[in-house]
Structure 1
């Protein structure tokens, strides 16, 4: 009898230990990327944020990621598999992942989903986006001061609100320092394709553009600008200075770690609530990287002063009066666009001589 009691107690002890081990298992967190983690742009910086967040939690979190995921049915399959694999939180990091994320979130109510740059939310699904237009406005100021041809160029990815409002911000920034500025736009219709991006850069430079701004992820436009000589370019999403030592103006770097850390902590604490989060200069989620020493002093001063005004909230780029390029007042005098309004920008500001793709 004594032996049976001892065996029972030993079994209880083993179960208790197993329960403790299970309770201390790290939280699983999944990430879905539209491009390769080595693209040195959008997906690269999301992955840097993932690594920084995982390091912060020191063994309490275990992350996994899937890269090069096409937007559409493939994304839904990948997101579903991550949910089945036991990930407590899944971050999907491209606009085209919105509908697949929303569908999967409805099937897995006990999993938290976070989608970057979208607008659909659910009880277990939030959205997050960067105020990239803040960096674009600074880019426009620099471009407007640096251009000798008064013609700057923008390589667009897809005509979604994020890209459209960034184009507007570039033009408004440039116009604020150069009344003669012209902006030319080429749509690459890709987030990451070095060949298409290089072609777009060369097409713009062939039209007299001498400052390039891109909404695509490879360093190809900077490389092409460096080859040409006399052309400047601004890096996208991460520090791209090494690819164009002479042509590089600065890069606008995305810093996702603060948000990833905040969301994971809230889930751990049981305080998570889905929201529409916007982060920018003020939250240190948007940074200026490697401002080139070869820039004129007045340009460097303008870059830093514009950055500070936006960071402190003293200046908001989308403050009226703003008229679109059809003559319609889209932002009344004295009004600054709300986040909800920013998310719906589908117009070019007055002075952009182009039409939005249909």
Structure 2
């Protein structure tokens, strides 16, 4: 009996030792992207963050990238493969990856997962997001001050709270500058579909919009604004190379710092599932340089509001709590269109 106990203890010890990371071995990190990396947009910004992380960590990290992975079963298969291949950290960078990531995380408890924009966690799955609505308010204020007709066109992906927050914040900012302003919304029900993004942008221009913005993943809206001679507040990436005359500014996503901190925490053994919702003050988002034709007094106004948000003296949604903002499911006055149910 004692011999059997000893054998059992040795087996348990060997199993525990086998699970420990090899000293000096790099952390294998996987990134799963919903669209091609391309030259700009949602996935491009996440990949810039990945590159910054790799540069910061050097040979401490070994990275695998899988792009153009559809939400649903495909993403679950890809994440399961990454976990089975020994990746210790997986970044799932699209909203619809949440449930698949939760299922894979339950199967691989030793692997850490980071999900962009999610609202559920697990012992080995964390969520991270940006307060895009802070910069969306500033974008709306800028649009309201520069639009001649007072109509903005908004090309939107899916009607999830993050997108609704952005539309509402944009409308609040625009109507602060022009109380009669209207924001017209067209839904794509897709995150990345350049042809339909262009079609939606053209439709909005035909409906009177003289400034465009979007929550979609390609440069199509920026290119359409440039071609059609209307103004643009770009989203995700600085789109000046696609819309040099049209762009007023851009809401730029910055993930490098967060990705580096998360990977270092896994390497150090200090990683914990602590949801993160960072904003302008955290460097998760920023505004690109203003277009040369934006009046100086408008730049000064927008910058003053930006500083107030960073300092905490102004909040685009006033006294609403984070829980209320996170559950936002209806439009504020000034938005033309409906939230699909």
* TM-score normalised to structure 1 length: 0.87
Runs of 4+ in 1 over 6 A off after TM superposition: none
If you compute each CA radius of gyration, which structure gives the higher value, 1 or 2? 1
Q: Is the 8 A contact 2:40 2:237 kept in 1?
A: yes
The answer for the alignment partner of 1:301 in structure 2 is 300
Find the aligned partners of 1:28 and 1:342 in 2 and give their Cα distance.
35
Find the aligned partners of 2:242 and 2:337 in 1 and give their Cα distance.
30
The answer for unaligned runs of 5 or more in structure 1 is 1-20, 320-334
**1:56 equivalenced with 2:39 (yes/no):** no
- Residues 78/67 of structure 1: CA separation in 2 closer, same or farther (3 Å cut): same
The answer for the alignment partner of 1:280 in structure 2 is 279
- Give the C-alpha shift of residue 303 in structure 1: 2.4
Find the aligned partners of 1:268 and 1:90 in 2 and give their Cα distance.
13
The answer for the alignment partner of 2:325 in structure 1 is 342
1:57 alignment partner, SS class: helix
**1:352 equivalenced with 2:335 (yes/no):** yes
* TM-score normalised to structure 2 length: 0.92
The answer for the alignment partner of 2:108 in structure 1 is 108
Residue deviations 1:310-353, cap 9 Å, x none? Answer: 1221211111xxxxxxxxxxxxxxx2322x33221111113324
The answer for the alignment partner of 2:290 in structure 1 is 291
2:185 alignment partner, SS class: strand
2:232 alignment partner, SS class: strand
- Give the C-alpha shift of residue 39 in structure 1: 4.5
Find the aligned partners of 2:244 and 2:200 in 1 and give their Cα distance.
21
The answer for the alignment partner of 1:236 in structure 2 is 235
RMSD over aligned CA atoms reads 1.3
- Give the C-alpha shift of residue 22 in structure 1: 4.3
Q: Is the 8 A contact 2:121 2:273 kept in 1?
A: yes
The answer for the alignment partner of 2:80 in structure 1 is 80
The answer for the alignment partner of 1:132 in structure 2 is 132
Find the aligned partners of 1:60 and 1:222 in 2 and give their Cα distance.
38
**1:166 equivalenced with 2:166 (yes/no):** yes
**1:263 equivalenced with 2:246 (yes/no):** no
Q: How does 1:301-340 map to 2 (within 5 A)?
A: 301-319=300-318, 335-338=319-322, 340=323
Q: Is the 8 A contact 1:241 1:290 kept in 2?
A: no
Q: How does 1:6-85 map to 2 (within 5 A)?
A: 22-85=22-85
Residue deviations 1:56-84, cap 9 Å, x none? Answer: 01211111110000000000000000001
- Give the C-alpha shift of residue 165 in structure 1: 0.8
The answer for the alignment partner of 2:152 in structure 1 is 152
Number of residues of Structure 1 aligned to a counterpart in Structure 2? 321
The answer for the alignment partner of 2:177 in structure 1 is 177
Find the aligned partners of 1:110 and 1:201 in 2 and give their Cα distance.
45
Find the aligned partners of 1:290 and 1:198 in 2 and give their Cα distance.
24
The answer for the alignment partner of 1:196 in structure 2 is 196
Residue deviations 1:128-167, cap 9 Å, x none? Answer: 0011101110110011111111111111000000001110
- Give the C-alpha shift of residue 299 in structure 1: 1.9
Q: Is the 8 A contact 1:39 1:217 kept in 2?
A: no
